[in-house]
Amino acid sequence: MSRIQLKFLVIALIMFSGGVVLLTERAAARLNVFHPLERPPQVSARQNLTEFQKAILQDLERQKREVKQYNSAYFHGGDPPASIGVCTDVVLRSYRKAGVDLYKDVNIDIRKHPTRYHISKPDSGIDHRCCKNLVPYCKAHATSLPLTKENADWKVGDIVFWDTYGNGNVDHVGVIANGKTADGTPTVVHHWPNRPVAEADCLYRFHTVHHFRWKPSATEKRDGKRNR
């Protein structure tokens, strides 16, 4: 290699490294832009809740107190320790408290209806903890609602999925809580990476892609009341 070629190679490497750093900084900046403002709700009164909704809220409050660590590691059995989790665990845990065992039901549905899911090899240790799998399950078993910015359209216990990076991928999920901000926006309980579970004003701060509402069966309503 000639000295001229070596010089051009060094310049190219420097430019490439600078580009990587720039992209990394842009990604970090983008993440900061999308970071939710985790402040407590300014108005917290919503009346006439069902037993199902009350059970969900009870567990959301517990998660806010107890789930302090974000950890996306693989856990044998698919159920991480109670003090850690990811965004999907907020849904799984609160709904289990209300009598809906998504830990079990999602994996059963994957085996029964594989064409709904893009999974080459099902794994009951992790599949239910992935947004990409919760979405088709909710499409099949919950009511899909329009995506609006009308605050009244969002009810306690509704599940909201977001594309936080605007790249077409569903990458985050939360559950509508009973708080409201000063302008009436419903608060959401979610688990953002590297943060504890929190109630936040983030419903409209991300790009919403799915809005689901569960219709609890009589058994689920009864279980939710018993679990309170």
The 3-state secondary structure of the chain, one letter per residue = CCHHHHHHHHHHHHHHHHHHHHHHHHHHHHHHHHCCECCCCCECCCCCCCHHHHHHHHHHHHHHHHCCEECCCCCCCCCCCCCEECHHHHHHHHHHHCCCCHHHHHHHHHHHCHHHCCCCCCCCCCHHHCHHHHHHHHHHHCEECCCCCCHHHCCCCCEEEEECCCCCCCCEEEEEEEEECCCCCEEEEEECCCCCEEEEECCCCCEEEEEEECCCCHHHHHHHHHHC
Residue ranges of domains in the chain? 1-34, 39-227
User: What pLDDT does 177 receive?
Assistant: 94
Across the beta sheet with 207-213, the strand order is: 143-144, 207-213, 159-163, 172-180, 186-191, 197-200
User: What pLDDT does 76 receive?
Assistant: 84
pTM: 0.79
User: What pLDDT does 74 receive?
Assistant: 92
Q: What is the pLDDT along the chain (228 residues), one digit of tens a residue?
A: 555 444 444 344 434 334 333 333 333 333 333 344 455 556 665 568 999 999 999 999 999 999 999 999 999 888 899 999 999 999 999 999 999 999 999 999 999 999 999 898 999 999 999 999 999 999 999 999 999 999 999 999 999 999 999 999 999 999 999 998 888 999 999 999 999 999 999 999 999 999 999 987 744 555 555 555
User: What pLDDT does 212 receive?
Assistant: 99
**The domain defined by 39-227 carries CATH number 3.90.1720.10:** yes
User: What pLDDT does 225 receive?
Assistant: 58
User: What pLDDT does 42 receive?
Assistant: 60
User: What pLDDT does 215 receive?
Assistant: 84
User: What pLDDT does 40 receive?
Assistant: 57
As a whole number of angstroms, the distance between CA 190 and CA 86 comes to 9
User: What pLDDT does 15 receive?
Assistant: 40
